Amino acid sequence: MNSYHHPIISPRSRLWFRVFAISTYVFLYLPVVVLVVFSFSDSKLLVFPIDEFSLRWYGVLFANKDLQRSILNSFIVAGTVVPVSLALGTPLAFALDRFQFPGKTVFEQGLLIPLIVPGLITGLAILLVLKELEVRLSLVTVIIGHSIWCLPIVVTQVYARLRRLDQTIEEASMDLGATRAQTFLRVTLPNIRTSLVASALLTFTLSFDEVPVTFFLTGTQNTLPMHIWSMLREGVTPEINAIATITVAISIIILAIALQLLNRDNSARPRQPGPVTGNNGA
């Protein structure tokens, strides 16, 4: 009997792979590390080595009223985008999982377009539509753009969890006299809760940091990324390093929680096929 054997990877190939992987990580994350280090420099000049470490620039940030306003705007946008995306994305995920309808495959693939197309294209497309409708640019238009951009995240995560959910437990709940609403609240919702929370955290983080879509849709009220963008016109300063460090830290914490929830959700038992029972308990 012939058996297939995986090719043996030579030690030299393994070494080169490790070197390539380490170089890639250094290329991606070394600038972030440098940014964080310089945010604690007491000097206004970005020179190395650093003579004295200080929290001076963090104090300067918290005294900046325009920055505080932009942070508040970012929280307003992200805090609104999360419930909007969940409210629209969850029913769409259920529709894709529970119903068959003409054009379902095209519809499913079409939902992914905002994730596939670059943010600049998405923002420009939404801007053209809003201009045709004569909608004035404001935080509301930013919320609309972010919601469209983040919607596929909620749909894909909830849809993936629903595909692994054993529907017989829902049928058993209704066989025992529960209504569809009660079954959803007491059976379905607890089983997809981690996907909803993880999607909400991912959506909040991406919306909070989004630049391309915001660039086209913002009005006179700046969000935090746009405020940083305007500060960069004067060059990279220690204040920018400090606010970027805070943003990176918040994003890492939220993404770590979201990924932990998604990993826990992905380890759930896959849906097992079983007999479909009627609502009469037969």
Dmax over Cα atoms in the chain, in whole Å?
79
Q: Assess whether pLDDT exceeds 60 at residue 202.
A: yes
Cα separation, 16 vs 2, in Å, equals: 32
Cα separation, 74 vs 204, in Å, equals: 10
Better pLDDT: 34 or 217: 217
pLDDT for 230:
80
pLDDT for 276:
38
Average pLDDT (172-198) is 85
Q: Per CATH, is 64-266 categorized as 3.20.20.105?
A: no
Better pLDDT: 63 or 122: 122
Q: Assess whether pLDDT exceeds 70 at residue 1.
A: no
- Kindly report whether the peptide bond that precedes residue 212 is cis, defined as omega within 30 degrees of 0: no
Domains of the chain, residue spans: 11-54, 64-266
At 93-113, the pLDDT tens digits run 988 888 888 888 888 888 888
pLDDT for 167:
80
Q: Assess whether pLDDT exceeds 50 at residue 278.
A: no
Percent of the chain clearing pLDDT 70 (strictly above): 87
At 118-153, the pLDDT tens digits run 888 888 899 999 888 888 888 999 999 999 999 999
The conformation of residue 177, written as its DSSP 8-state character, comes to: T
